Structure 1
Amino acid sequence: MASLQSVVQRLKLKYNKSYTAPWVHLEKLRAIQEDAAERIPLPKDVRTQTVVAGGVDAEWVHPHEATKEKVLMYLHGGAYVMGSCNTHRPLAAQIARACGMRALLLEYRLAPEHPYPAAIHDSVAAYRWLLYNGVHPDDLVIAGDSAGGGLALATLLSLRDSGEPMPAAAVCITPWADLTGAGESVKTRAKADPCLWPDHFSFAGHYAGAHDRCDPLLSPLYADLAGLPPLLIQAAGDHILLSDSTGLAQRAKDAGVAVTLEVWQGMWHAFHLHAPQLPEARSAIEAIGSFVRRQLQTRGLGARACL
């Protein structure tokens, strides 16, 4: 049963939906998102530090009790055209705390100023920077929400194809993994979704440009996922991108990837951002923490067994 807080939050989102519609000017949408972020408090036990990671602006987000050796590389959402360290700092902090590790939050380049494949280049460069600076891949996890979830998968595919070491696991939160907009849920969940319009797929053109949107690095739903590390996919039941998550989970399973799919019924796009108000979001973040801790322990045990 949905919490009272989620009922109230859903009403707020539906009321404000027209203000974040894709026909609103992009600069205004960016300003709205940045302004909203200012009202979400950062946990008091978290400290931050700006850094340049492989040429990419980034920010360390370090909960007080987190270990320094283990790192969550976090890729923010925003349809590849919005979002920043500022908009996703509280969420990265909450997830990092649940996982018991510090987070590297990337300020990857955005479209349309920097279209595909700029975001992937930035993510891969930051990952290589972490390895160069002594972070072991067994102690690394990549995570992201929305477009950041799709970018996390594209990063894994790029690393796999270039023969580089894989992280211990990856987490995709309500991922945008099919830029074609062909998923069944785009139609079947359109009325139920309190956040997104089907017209939001117009943002895909800013990022993809003239490239084929079925390219696996643009739409990982169409990729061969073999060789990827264990995946946690958290989907929302009332979400036009639900098919992205269910399709990804099936393709990962078919490719022999260890995948966990969670569908949070009654929830919406990137509902984790509402964790300060929403018990369902806090529970989902706790589930991420449990998954990540379990995968890091399993990876560590496997490494020690090989010694």
Structure 2
Amino acid sequence: MAHSEIDAIRALLGSKPRPVGWSERRQRINEVGSTWPVASDVTCEAVDCDGVAGEWSIVPGSEPSRVLLYFHGGGYCSGSIVSHRRLVTEAGRAAGTRTLAIDYRLAPEHPYPAAHEDALTAWHFLRRQGIAAKSIAVGGDSAGGNLTLGLISRLRAAGEPLPACTWLVSPWTDLTMSGSTLATKDAVDPLIHKAYLDELADAYAPPSIGRRDPLISPLFADLKAFPPILIQVGSAETLLADAARLAEAAGAADVDVTLQIWPHMIHAWPVWNAGLQDGRRALAYAGQFIQAHLR
């Protein structure tokens, strides 16, 4: 069953080649990500987070005083609330929380540090709503995982309270592209390849900033005193080494870290949870992790 389901997702992703232009790519990821709509019992509401677009979601029985703050993936150049709505809303269901998804500014129109500024604005917006830091989980996939780690680094540097926990799916942690699986998993990954990552990094990170900068590549950050981290990554993705090395670095810094490597899964597979049992299982585990730490 798992193989047939992931093969169907691979077929969906391969049904059209990746477009060339940024606007066309953004439209494509919105189309693919929203293949399955949100469940009928989900309530979504647009919100202005002090100038940054966001969306609240809640399902019956969720605790509104607890929040999952989520940053979508897309290489900092695409992705949106629309493309990740099914993922975010079902993650909120699993965690028993409200969710706040953020449409941060995208490169190349808005290169670094625009997304970081928007993430920090969204965090402060949440805090001003009276939500305690210990009642907030922060998560993201791919570049959104990178952005999540950057937000925590900024909060720690400012001496601000940190979120209760961190959930990362297929995180892109190394924009120097030194991970060994960029080569060893290239043939089995249907989405992410080094040439594409190089293009994204060029669009996002100005040449004046070294890509080993911890806010560009959080793999090289000092992770000491970070909150508990759950990392979920597929065995069939080129960013496997980004996730595994981050887990090693976090563990070496005495951070409570859990690394899950899901057999046969591809990049950000929980996006397609409606048609993928392993996507639903990954969200269920993440929900348990978040609930445990928000309590």
> The TM-score by the shorter chain falls in which range?
over 0.9
Q: Hey, what does 1:8 align to over in structure 2?
A: 8
Alignment partner, residue 30 of structure 1: 26
Q: Identify the residue that residue 36 of structure 2 maps to in structure 1.
A: 40
Q: How big is the shift at 1:228?
A: 0.6
Deviation digits for residues 219-238 of structure 1 (CA, Å, limit 9, x no counterpart) = 10011100110000001101
**Matching residue of 2:257:** 259
1:213 counterpart = 2:223: no
- Change over 3 Å in CA distance of 1:207–1:246 after alignment to 2: same
For residues 10 and 174 of structure 1, do their structure 2 counterparts lie closer, same or farther at Cα, with a shift above 3 Å needed? same
The reply to whether residue 196 of structure 1 matches residue 192 of structure 2 is yes
Question: What is the one-letter code of the residue matched to 1:5?
Answer: E
* Maintained 8 Å contact 1:56/1:126: yes
Does the C-alpha gap of structure 1 residues 37 and 11 become closer, same or farther in structure 2, counting only changes over 3 Å?
closer
The Cα of 1:2 is off from its aligned counterpart by: 3.7
Name the aligned partner's letter for residue 5 of structure 2.
Q
User: AA paired with 2:157?
Assistant: D
Unaligned runs of 5+ in 1: 298-307
The answer for unaligned runs of 5 or more in structure 2 is none
Deviation at 1:142, TM superposition (A): 0.2
Give % identity: 38
Letter in 2 for 1:6: I
Q: Distance in 1 between matches of 2:85 and 2:9?
A: 20
Structure 1 length-normalised TM: 0.92
Q: Deviations over 1:62-97 (max 9, x none)?
A: 112211100000000110000111111111000000
Whether the aligned pair in 2 keeps the contact of 1:216 and 1:223 (CA below 8 Å) is yes
SS in 2 for 1:71: strand
2:133 corresponds to: 137
What SS does structure 2 have at the residue aligned with 1:95?
A: helix
3-state SS in 2 of match to 1:4:
helix
Q: CA deviation at 1:192?
A: 1.2
Q: How many residues align?
A: 293
Q: Is the 8 A contact 2:111 2:204 kept in 1?
A: yes
TM-score by length of 2: 0.96
Note if contact 1:61-1:89 (Cα within 8 Å) is conserved in structure 2: no
Q: Report whether the alignment pairs 1:103 with 2:99.
A: yes
CA offset at residue 37 of structure 1? 3.9
Contact 1:173 1:270 in 2 (8 A): yes
State which of 52, 58, 79 in structure 2 corresponds to 1:83: 79
**1:119 aligned to 2:115?**
yes
Give the CA RMSD over aligned residues: 1.3
